[in-house]
Chains A and B, each alone.
Chain A
Amino acid sequence: MENINKINRRNFLKLSGLSGGGLILGFNWSSCNSPKDITPIKTMPKEWFGINAFLKIGDNGLVTIYSPNPEIGQNIKTSMPMIVAEELDVKWEDVIVEQAGLNTEWYSRQVAGGSQSIRHGWTSLRMAGATAKQMLVNGAAKQWQIDPSECSVADGIISNKKGESFGFGDVAKVASTMEVPKEEDVKLKKTEDYKIIGTDRGNVDIEEIITGKPLFGIDTKREGMMYAAVLRAPAFGQKLISVDDTEALKVKGVQKIIKLQILQRQKFKGENVMLDKIAVIANSTWAAMKGKKALVAIWENTSPAENTISHKIALNKLADSKSKKPVRIDGDPNTAFAQADEIIERTYESPFLPHNCMEPMNFFASVTNEKVELVGPIQTPEWTRGRIASLLNLIEEHDPEDKDAAKIAREKAFAKIDLQMTRMGGGFGRRLYGDFALEAVQISKEMETPIQVIWTREDDMTAGTYRPAVHYKIRAAIKNNKIIGYHLIEAAVNGNMWSSLADGFPASGISNYQCDNHSLESNVSTGAWRAPYTNFLASAEQSFLDEVAQKTGQDAVQMRLNILNQAKTIFDAHTKLEEEIKDKEKLKAAKQGLMAKGNYEPDRFIAVIKLAAEKGGWGNTPLGIHLGFSAFFSHNTYVAQIAQVKIVDDVPKVDKVICVVDCGIVVNPMAATNLIQGGVIDGIGHSMFGDFTFENGQPTMENFNKYRLIRMDEAPQIEVHYVNNGKSPSGLGEPTLPPAGAAVANAFHSATGVRMYNQPFVKDNKVLG
């Protein structure tokens, strides 16, 4: 756990490239929410002084903070710099935020994924700010010839006991040349002293967004740039036989049509598996798209064409089969089920889901012999750069056994690649996979010209890396109206569940527990989709528990608390042993026979559930309102939700959702609440409407006329509450989505008596049971 926050000391030593004036691109005055009495520094400094990888200070006290991670709408471009600014002790109004470039020497984990940016960055961002502050203080102390401990800092001003003061700008130059203080000599603030963390700060890109300035990858323009649209196989598992480009070449503006070399499929499942591609290069996006439409290509199946009905049958069959080895087994589930008064068994089904980022996939590449310039929306810049280096054979041959030689070869190759991250019009996991960036690189290399690849919405929806279709079968053994056994079985296209998920709630809270998973191999490419692995598991599990509570006459909330109380006794027993026995081997021996812990802290889980019950009026429901409860822990964050459903014109309508979150310290409440509201609405939208089917290997939905996304009139009000416990922050991009489907399903049941087992809940405008 602590390793994730280990800082890279080199971050604080490297100064090259950050000093001096430099070009300030896309800077933002962050003062839009400033109180009236604060006067921000309004002029740019004459000179900047690099203090460390995260910040530079101008001679007038203005501070530039680099946001290291890619921005996909999770608002880390505001919240990560807030953490640095807090420890630097500067006024937020005097901070300019810039997107950092890809730099693995300076930053660790420049990834947008897994809701991990804030959690991983928490210590290094604070240390970056605090170390810089200490250097500024040391610089001031040197000029005053006093001990640094005699200085105090507030809002970018360093003062001594005589009442003299320096602004950060006055000592920035001397500070930039000072020795970097040792880690142990840098003090972090107490949480109660925070002035920026925990306050509402507006999105640093708001001005560009609301005035339509170039900001996103798709907005990239370069001298001589051409546009490329790419034709891919209409169905999964096909190869190209022939293409007739006669008509396409007649389209005015089309310059050239090329076949792209076939890339090997990556080993992991997320890579798009359509290997044969034909690129139409034109002088405008419209001409490229029209040219693509005019291509006449013949394709042939290389593997059987798949369809939704066969997926469904195969997944149900797998869920009924015996797995080779359970992922987790506690107690004696077989005996528990044999001794049960009653067995409740339900199957839950969900379809594939496309990501549908509003900004369709695109990327800019300019490949020359000397340099590769890349600009675009990518959640995994580091990994993508590595793949591009391999694609272009930029990594010189070296002894594969020689690690140093390999590192030098890689660094040499990477020095040629300049990858610039843009703000992304959504990610949701799709932009973890850089297939679109590789296309741009291939085309630019072949065309010897700067290229922007743009996917049409149809390309984006039909050549995706989808959330795999998943079925869950869940069984509960009931004795004396109590759950004595629980069995979770997953069957998913191309596998889904990480083995660690078997340790999720209710594991360790039920004495006899088993979890199995099965994979259905498919030629449809699948990958991470917002809250991978749990986005439908939570729906199935929390719907199931609601039904079990109803059937056994238990209160749905109290039943969960009972399970958590049992999990707590296991958790506490582990904690006690861990405190008493420091020797690893002895500890392991002492834990023999003790049930494994769950992957969650029961106390924190109990706290969010209790607060949700209180805020959502559980047990105290006004007439005409029907409640549904759901709670889930994922991505290190605890979430409990209560959905309120009303019957309007004989149709259940989700009116409001109360969402309680424990993500530890909330860095920027205004942004956090936005992300939580969006996550819940996204979860509800996909549970209700998300449907994606295949016929003859081909997706049957290819644009928003057939694929239904939630719209304003269908989105309920989301009321957000936080558990304030001062713990280190975790992320919010994903964890509020998984429980939302079940909150709605359970409220629908309260309202109508009908259970929702399959997603989507609504088809052809009818609510299904």
Chain B
Amino acid sequence: MATYNLNINGKMQTVEAESDTPMLWVLRDVIGLVGTKYGCGIAQCGACTIHIDGQAMRSCQLPVSAMESKKITTIEGLSADASHPLQDAWRQHDVPQCGYCQAGQIMNAAALLSNNSNPNDQDIDDAMRGNICRCGTYNRIKAAIKTAAKNS
């Protein structure tokens, strides 16, 4: 076990973990932030998407040992009071069905909007292709991203 100082959602936290432990499991098992979801473990589904220094990354592929000095943001820290334009748009469009993939979808979409404030359909498709929704809420995810872009 080694000790790591991590900046998670604007707060410094000290965690003890094996060096190869992916951030996904550090967040879920060590820190108790379970909003970031396990889906595939091989960066193919996007359920574990978090932000590292503002960029969308798959936390199942990020060993904790490489995370010191990075700014880590999870769904729990996306906004202080659940008021991110994407969260509002998710409410407005009632996007989720089962809801399991949605934190990853929102985090991925948030990174898209921070890089491109007015994405067209192709931009959204390209950015969101890595996030699977097994329930098939794609129509609403896309609509909600457009609404959020408009309201940002």
Contact = CB atoms under 8 A, between A and B. Distances in A.
Interface in A679-738: 679-682, 685, 703-705, 709-713, 715, 717-718
B37 interface: yes
A499 B91 CA distance: 43
Given A216-B100, A221-B32, A359 B91 contact: no
Given A284-B21, A703-B42, A202 B102 contact: no
Contacts of B130: 711
A704 B18 contact: no
Interface residues of B, number: 60
A718 B138 CA distance: 10
Nearest to A220: B34
Interface in B1-52: 1, 17-18, 21-22, 25, 28-30, 32-42, 44-45, 47
Q: Which of B38, B91, B134, B140 has the most CB of A within 10 A?
A: B134
Interface residues of A, number: 67
A284 B29 contact: yes
B40 to A, nearest CB: 4
B149 interface: no
Contact of A211 (B18, B47, B82, B97): B82
A83 B87 CA distance: 27
Contacts of A285: 25, 28-29, 38
Contact of A358 (B78, B98, B126): B98
A457 B99 contact: no
B3 to A, nearest CB: 14
A360 interface: yes
Interface in A423-470: 423-428, 454, 456-457
B98 A212 contact: no
A431 to B, nearest CB: 11
A355 to B, nearest CB: 9
A23 interface: no
B41 A674 contact: no
B87 A218 contact: no
Q: Which of A33, A74, A212 has the most CB of B within 10 A?
A: A212
A457 B40 contact: yes
Contacts of A454: 38
B39 A457 contact: yes
B134 A360 contact: no
B98 A210 contact: no
Contact of B29 (A227, A360, A425, A456): A227
Contacts of A253: 18
A679 B136 contact: yes
B34 to A, nearest CB: 4
B72 interface: no
Given A72-B98, A713-B129, A682 B25 contact: no
B129 A703 contact: no
A212 B141 contact: no
Contact of A705 (B42, B47, B125): B42
Given A212-B35, A711-B129, A423 B30 contact: no
Contacts of A703: 40-42, 44
Q: Is the interface of B mostly helix, strand, loop or mixed?
A: loop
Nearest to A710: B136
Interface string A195-230: 000001011011101111111101101000001000
B97 A73 contact: yes
A356 B135 CA distance: 10
B14 to A, nearest CB: 17
B136 to A, nearest CB: 3
A75 interface: yes
Contact of B38 (A210, A218, A221): A218
Nearest to A684: B136
A678 interface: yes
A682 B136 contact: yes
B99 A211 contact: no
Nearest to A713: B125
Interface of A: 32-33, 72-75, 200, 202-203, 205-207, 209-216, 218-219, 221, 227, 252-253, 284-287, 289, 356-360, 423-428, 454, 456-457, 670-671, 674-675, 677-682, 685, 703-705, 709-713, 715, 717-718
Interface of B: 1, 17-18, 21-22, 25, 28-30, 32-42, 44-45, 47, 74-76, 78, 82, 87, 90-91, 94-103, 106, 124-126, 128-142
9 contacts: A216-B99, A227-B29, A284-B25, A286-B25, A358-B37, A426-B134, A681-B136, A682-B135, A704-B132
